[in-house]
Amino acid sequence: MSALTVTNKIRILFLEDNVDDAQLCLRKLKINEIDFDVDIVDTRAQFEEHIDRNSYDIVLADFRLPDCNGLDAVRWLRSREMTMPFILVTDSLGDEVAVDCMREGVTDYVLKKKLDRLPMALSRALGEMQLRASRDQAACDLRHSEEQYSSIIKGAPYGIFRSREDGTILLANPALVKMVGFSSVEELLSANITDFYWDPADRRSKVLSLLQESDLFYRVEVLWRRKDGKQINVRLDGRRVPSAGEKHTVFEVFVQDMTEQRLLEREFQQAQKMEAIGRLAGGVAHDFNNLLMIIRGCAELLEHYKNTPEKSANYLRQINDATSIAASVVQQLMAFSRKQVPERSSLDLNVVLKDLGGCCRVCWAKTLKSALRREQIWSAFRRTAASLNRLFSTLLSTRAMPCRMAGT
């Protein structure tokens, strides 16, 4: 490295008791166009005072001084955890002493009879210091980045793991440890990911098979087994990790525990079923109430006209029709309980309305005068007779109820 690479002004602290030697060294630096400011001291006390009060880029020092030597100075400097370059400029230095000095933290040494080396040594020392500072900063930034990513993984609410194709777990976060009921990450790493599957075949059929077609898979739900044997529902999202010197295929997977969500969904579905059953029970009760009103009305009229055979026969037929409809409703309930589809057939809507009209006139003759008109009605209608009777009975009873309450 050339001395010309030192482009910025540097601050030098020079520990030297011989002013002529100090000026000779500084002249060598100026000849090589090194821009600098310098403080020259000749005692240890002055040296320590200047170090405490000022900031320097490099220290030059003679090895032999009246009250100390260069080795004492560098030891004191390094004890203060100061890493600035330290160059000895001395008349002579034995090999053993030179080794001791370098071991204690001296960056380089230059003999006074070879001062032409001083600019190069100074430039190289400053360059190494800058390189070391850049390397230390990069290492610090890397550690900080790793700590941030590690914090994200460790604090994630979802389980995260990395494994090989054979199931060997390479990495796992605390959320996954808690999810599967292990006590530590180390204990989890000793297990095989295939052991977590309720059905070990699911890993190959539902996960690895997808990775044969793509490097990614999403929203794969499987059943896992915790360490205590309990079953949990989990959703897996993952990818194949690009190989970076790894001999085996590696997968990175995110795991979400869906057990509580699926339980809530089942409870909600059960609540919906119970609500549907309640509505069905209310509808059936309403249907039977309508039929009972017909039967009761016909029975009262049958008692009143018991000496009139023609009318009695008509009322008996209407009672029989009402009981047939009730039996059809019961059959539908039985079909529903067995999850069977009710049988549908083609019906003449005119006939259905005619039969229903007779019942209506018996029950609501005083309140409904002209409720039904059968002209221009479809002659064929695909539906069950019971459902049609139930529909029209509900409509007519709803229309008649306000009239009765009003006394009309």
Q: Tell me how far apart the alpha carbons of residues 282 and 296 are, in angstroms, rounded to a whole number.
A: 21
Give 102: exposed, middle or buried? Use CB within 10 Å, 0-12, 13-18, 19+. middle
Residue 119 identity (one-letter amino acid): P
**Which position has the higher pLDDT, 32 or 149?**
32
Q: What is the pLDDT of residues 361-408, one digit of tens each?
A: 544 444 444 444 444 444 444 455 555 555 555 555 555 444 444 444
Q: Spell out a b/e string for 183-202, using b for 16 or more CB atoms within 10 Å of the CB, else e.
A: eebeebbebebeebbeeeeb
Q: What is the pLDDT of residues 68-81, one digit of tens each?
A: 888 889 999 989 88
What mean pLDDT, rounded, does the chain reach? 81
Q: Spell out a b/e string for 264-285, using b for 16 or more CB atoms within 10 Å of the CB, else e.
A: eeeeeeeeeeeeeeeeeeeebe
- Per-residue pLDDT, 96: 83
Q: Please choose, from the candidates 227, 228, 223, 229, the residue with its C-alpha nearest in 3D space to the C-alpha of residue 259.
A: 223
**Long-range contacts, stretch 80-83, CB < 8 angstroms, 24+ apart:** 80/51, 82/51, 83/129, 83/132
pLDDT higher than 80, residue 312: yes
- Per-residue pLDDT, 401: 45
Question: Which domains, ranges and CATH numbers included, belong to the chain?
Answer: 3-142 (3.40.50.2300), 156-257 (3.30.450.20), 265-406 (no CATH)
Q: Tell me how far apart the alpha carbons of residues 109 and 98 are, in angstroms, rounded to a whole number.
A: 8
Q: What is the pLDDT of residues 242-291, one digit of tens each?
A: 765 556 788 999 999 999 999 999 999 999 888 888 887 888 888 888 88
Among 34-38, 46-50, 123-127, 310-314, the least confident range: 310-314
- Per-residue pLDDT, 400: 47
pLDDT over 90, % of the chain: 32
Instruction: Report, in angstroms and rounded to the nearest whole number, the Rg of the chain calculated over CA atoms.
Output: 49
pLDDT higher than 60, residue 332: yes
DSSP state of 342: P
Q: What is the pLDDT of residues 49-60, one digit of tens each?
A: 999 999 999 999
- Per-residue pLDDT, 173: 93
Coil/strand/helix, residue 111: strand
- Per-residue pLDDT, 58: 92
pLDDT higher than 80, residue 181: yes
Q: What is the pLDDT of residues 5-20, one digit of tens each?
A: 566 889 999 999 898 9
Residues 188-206 have a mean pLDDT of 91
pTM of the model: 0.50
Q: Is 226 left (phi over 0), alpha (psi -120 to 50) or beta?
A: beta
Residues 196-212 have a mean pLDDT of 89
Distance from chain centroid for Cα 211: 21
Q: Tell me how far apart the alpha carbons of residues 364 and 361 are, in angstroms, rounded to a whole number.
A: 5
pLDDT class of 2 with cuts at 50, 70, 90:
very low
- Per-residue pLDDT, 391: 59
Q: Yes or no: say if 206 and 220 are a contact pair by the CB < 8 Å rule.
A: yes
- Per-residue pLDDT, 384: 54
